[in-house]
Amino acid sequence: MNRRKRYPRRFSLSRLILMILIVAAIITNPTKEDFYDWANNKAIEDSETIVEGAIKNLLISPLLKSVTVRKNYVLFSTFTIEFDEYKTRYLGIFDNFIELKDKD
Protein backbone atom coordinates (compact mmCIF):
# COMPACT_ATOMS: atom_id res chain seq x y z
CA MET A 1 0.00 0.00 0.00
CA ASN A 2 1.19 3.39 -0.93
CA ARG A 3 1.10 5.64 2.11
CA ARG A 4 1.57 9.32 1.66
CA LYS A 5 2.54 11.58 4.46
CA ARG A 6 -0.06 14.16 5.18
CA TYR A 7 1.28 17.58 5.93
CA PRO A 8 -0.80 20.23 7.64
CA ARG A 9 -2.30 22.75 5.27
CA ARG A 10 -0.30 25.88 4.94
CA PHE A 11 -1.85 29.27 4.71
CA SER A 12 -1.69 30.63 1.24
CA LEU A 13 -0.76 34.24 0.66
CA SER A 14 -4.32 35.11 -0.36
CA ARG A 15 -5.71 33.69 2.91
CA LEU A 16 -3.16 35.65 4.90
CA ILE A 17 -4.07 38.88 3.09
CA LEU A 18 -7.77 38.20 3.64
CA MET A 19 -7.21 37.62 7.36
CA ILE A 20 -5.19 40.84 7.63
CA LEU A 21 -7.96 42.81 5.85
CA ILE A 22 -10.63 41.35 8.15
CA VAL A 23 -8.67 42.21 11.29
CA ALA A 24 -7.93 45.71 9.94
CA ALA A 25 -11.63 46.25 9.17
CA ILE A 26 -12.63 45.18 12.68
CA ILE A 27 -10.04 47.44 14.31
CA THR A 28 -10.90 50.47 12.16
CA ASN A 29 -14.70 50.11 12.30
CA PRO A 30 -15.77 53.70 13.07
CA THR A 31 -17.85 54.60 16.13
CA LYS A 32 -20.68 57.11 16.40
CA GLU A 33 -18.22 59.65 17.82
CA ASP A 34 -15.96 59.16 14.77
CA PHE A 35 -18.97 59.82 12.55
CA TYR A 36 -19.95 62.98 14.47
CA ASP A 37 -16.40 64.31 14.23
CA TRP A 38 -16.26 63.58 10.50
CA ALA A 39 -19.66 65.17 9.82
CA ASN A 40 -18.79 68.29 11.82
CA ASN A 41 -15.45 68.67 10.03
CA LYS A 42 -17.16 68.17 6.66
CA ALA A 43 -19.74 70.86 7.49
CA ILE A 44 -16.99 73.26 8.52
CA GLU A 45 -14.96 72.52 5.37
CA ASP A 46 -18.05 73.14 3.21
CA SER A 47 -18.63 76.52 4.87
CA GLU A 48 -17.67 79.64 3.01
CA THR A 49 -16.72 81.69 6.08
CA ILE A 50 -15.36 80.99 9.55
CA VAL A 51 -18.53 82.40 11.12
CA GLU A 52 -20.72 80.14 9.00
CA GLY A 53 -18.58 77.16 10.04
CA ALA A 54 -18.90 78.03 13.72
CA ILE A 55 -22.68 78.38 13.46
CA LYS A 56 -22.96 75.06 11.61
CA ASN A 57 -20.83 73.41 14.28
CA LEU A 58 -23.08 74.73 17.06
CA LEU A 59 -26.29 73.71 15.30
CA ILE A 60 -25.27 70.43 13.67
CA SER A 61 -23.69 68.66 16.64
CA PRO A 62 -26.77 68.32 18.87
CA LEU A 63 -29.11 67.72 15.93
CA LEU A 64 -26.85 65.09 14.43
CA LYS A 65 -26.59 63.20 17.71
CA SER A 66 -30.35 63.01 18.04
CA VAL A 67 -31.15 61.81 14.50
CA THR A 68 -28.28 59.43 13.72
CA VAL A 69 -28.68 55.66 14.00
CA ARG A 70 -25.64 53.38 13.81
CA LYS A 71 -25.84 49.71 12.86
CA ASN A 72 -22.67 47.81 13.71
CA TYR A 73 -21.79 44.88 11.44
CA VAL A 74 -18.38 44.27 13.10
CA LEU A 75 -16.39 44.74 9.87
CA PHE A 76 -18.18 47.99 9.02
CA SER A 77 -21.04 50.18 10.23
CA THR A 78 -23.87 52.04 8.58
CA PHE A 79 -25.01 55.44 9.78
CA THR A 80 -28.50 56.68 8.93
CA ILE A 81 -29.49 60.30 9.39
CA GLU A 82 -33.25 60.73 9.22
CA PHE A 83 -35.51 63.62 10.12
CA ASP A 84 -38.74 64.75 8.49
CA GLU A 85 -38.43 63.75 4.84
CA TYR A 86 -34.64 63.94 4.74
CA LYS A 87 -32.82 60.60 4.89
CA THR A 88 -29.24 59.76 4.03
CA ARG A 89 -27.03 56.78 4.79
CA TYR A 90 -23.29 56.39 5.10
CA LEU A 91 -21.03 53.37 5.14
CA GLY A 92 -18.24 53.54 7.69
CA ILE A 93 -15.31 51.24 6.95
CA PHE A 94 -11.54 51.51 7.51
CA ASP A 95 -12.10 54.84 9.35
CA ASN A 96 -13.69 56.34 6.21
CA PHE A 97 -17.25 57.32 5.38
CA ILE A 98 -18.96 56.82 2.05
CA GLU A 99 -22.41 58.18 1.24
CA LEU A 100 -24.76 55.45 0.02
CA LYS A 101 -27.22 56.34 -2.70
CA ASP A 102 -30.74 54.92 -2.36
CA LYS A 103 -32.41 53.38 -5.37
CA ASP A 104 -35.18 55.61 -6.67
When pLDDT is averaged across residues 38-67 and rounded to a whole number, the result is: 80
Residue 1 lies in a domain: no
Number of domains in the chain: 1
Classify residue 96: in a domain, yes or no: yes
Tell me, what's the pLDDT at 56? 73
What residues contact residue 67 under an 8 Å CB cut-off, 6+ apart? 81, 82, 83
The average confidence (pLDDT) of the chain is: 86
Question: Is the pTM above the cut of 0.85?
Answer: no
Question: Are the C-beta atoms of 97 and 30 separated by less than 8 Å?
Answer: yes
Quick check: is 56 in a domain? yes
Residue 1 clears pLDDT 80, i.e. is over it: no
pLDDT digits (tens, 9 = 90+) for 15-31: 889 999 999 999 999 99
pLDDT value, residue 94: 96
The Cα 24–Cα 16 span in angstroms is 12
**Residue 16 within any structural domain of the chain:** no
Domain carrying residue 45:
30-100
